[in-house]
Structure 1
Amino acid sequence: MRKLEPGRLIIASHNQGKIREIAALLGPYGIEPVSAAELDLPEPEETGNTFIDNAELKARASADLSGLPALADDSGLCVDALDGQPGIYSARWAELPWSERAVDPAADAGEVKVERDFSYAMQRVHDELLAKGPEAGRDAHFVCALSVCWPDGHIESFEGRVDGTLVWPPRGDRGFGYDPMFQPIGRKETFGEMDPGEKHGMSHRADAFRKLVEALIG
């Protein structure tokens, strides 16, 4: 297994919440995180069938374009009563309907921007559960896949998980994505209420990162 050396590492994401969390996790290891957004690297279409598939294709794309090692994350919320949905489509569930998206006046022919609103996504999860009826459970888990790709194409991948239950209404304005409706097992706070340092110590991303550090840095 190849080791990850100190120096610049591309974080293959345009999601500022993920970038902050990954940068905080990398801090103690002498690695300088640089986001794909800072380098204006495009986000590839997520065509994989699993979290690891999507993490690997994003890591490969950034490593190819930058000539530097790249770390990509693909993560999502899996709800038991919804057969694991939204799963790998977690970000896409946050895409607003066309009727609610903004038109960019500077774009060709009034191009409509893709806009994501996780309040909309959380409401959709809640509505889908209500449609299942009162017997539908609220058990859920977050999954995170982390992939590191080097410019020569070598790649290593790791997956983490945290289990919990869904609450309604959402609570807290910390974190991002579905965090305000997810209460990890054994805790009274949602990820949206939790201090970021506490979340970093127990999240699905932290679980995957521990495995990455043990294999590639430790």
Structure 2
Amino acid sequence: MVQQIVFVTGNANKLKEVKMLLAPEVGQEARFELINTDIDLDEVQSSSLEEIARHKVAQAKTVLPEGTAVFVEDTALCFEGYNGLPGAYVKWFLKKVGPEGLVRMLEGFENKGAEAVTTVAYSDAEGEIHIFQGKTSGKIVSPRGSRDFGWDCIFEPVECANKTYAEMEKADKNKISQRSRAFALLQKHLHNDQ
């Protein structure tokens, strides 16, 4: 029987991307079924991405039936010029000032470097929590490309110079993104665990 794993998200774009990232290789049998639920989880105030993700998955476990395998994902955008800010708070900055406002934050800085970080907290059926993290270096640029996925239009990864995430094909983005790196670690764990 294929195990169900719950992804706590209400973001359809994230769900679609994560399903792509965790899909079995062509010809491989699926070892788990990914389902999602939208639970309103507390946003703890911390600069520690691991602490935020660990808190969220622990809270999700209290809402879901006992023995449910579940994971949460938290993504941060860390500006070098601000010593890592906005970091975990980027969602709130984006909501208030939009992509242009994030770019304006760095107007007085020569250093436009940034790091995108995704932290996945997975709680297995026994309740043990595992943390996986992926990182991608890049820089902040004026918005280019689609604006339908957060700050993708202002993040230009080092590994794909001259294109923002928003300008890249999904398959190309998924080869280098911080999310794909974090979920590759989760997928490896899931396949070794079963």
Cα deviation for residue 174 of structure 1 reads: 6.5
Q: Secondary structure at the match of 2:23?
A: helix
* Amino acid in the other structure paired with 1:66: L
Q: What TM-score does the superposition give when structure 1 sets the normalisation length?
A: 0.77
Structure 2: runs of 5+ lacking an equivalent:
25-29
Q: Residue in 1 aligned with 2:27? A: none
Q: Secondary structure at the match of 1:43?
A: coil
Residues 1:122 and 2:96 aligned together = no
Match of 1:158 among 132, 142, 149: 132
Q: Give identity over the alignment, percent.
A: 25
Cα deviation for residue 81 of structure 1 reads: 0.9
* Amino acid in the other structure paired with 1:60: A
What is the aligned length?
184
Q: Residue in 1 aligned with 2:61? A: 63
Structure 1: runs of 5+ lacking an equivalent:
97-119
1:90-169 equivalences in 2 (<5 Å): 90-96=90-96, 120-130=97-107, 133=108, 135-168=109-142
**Kept after mapping to 1: 8 A contact 2:112/2:139:** yes
- Computing the radius of gyration from Cα coordinates, the structure with the larger value is 1
* Amino acid in the other structure paired with 2:118: C
* Amino acid in the other structure paired with 1:24: M
Q: Partners in 1 of 2:181 and 2:10 — Cα distance?
A: 22
Q: Partners in 2 of 1:194 and 1:174 — Cα distance?
A: 12
Q: Partners in 2 of 1:147 and 1:126 — Cα distance?
A: 29
Q: Secondary structure at the match of 1:53?
A: helix
Hey, which of these two has a bigger chunk of strand by percent? 2
Q: Partners in 2 of 1:50 and 1:6 — Cα distance?
A: 34
Q: What TM-score does the superposition give when structure 2 sets the normalisation length?
A: 0.85
Match of 1:23 among 19, 23, 41: 19
* Amino acid in the other structure paired with 2:136: V
Q: Residue in 2 aligned with 1:45? A: 43
Q: Partners in 1 of 2:79 and 2:47 — Cα distance?
A: 17
Q: Residue in 2 aligned with 1:8? A: 4
* Amino acid in the other structure paired with 2:49: F
- RMSD between aligned alpha carbons? 2.0
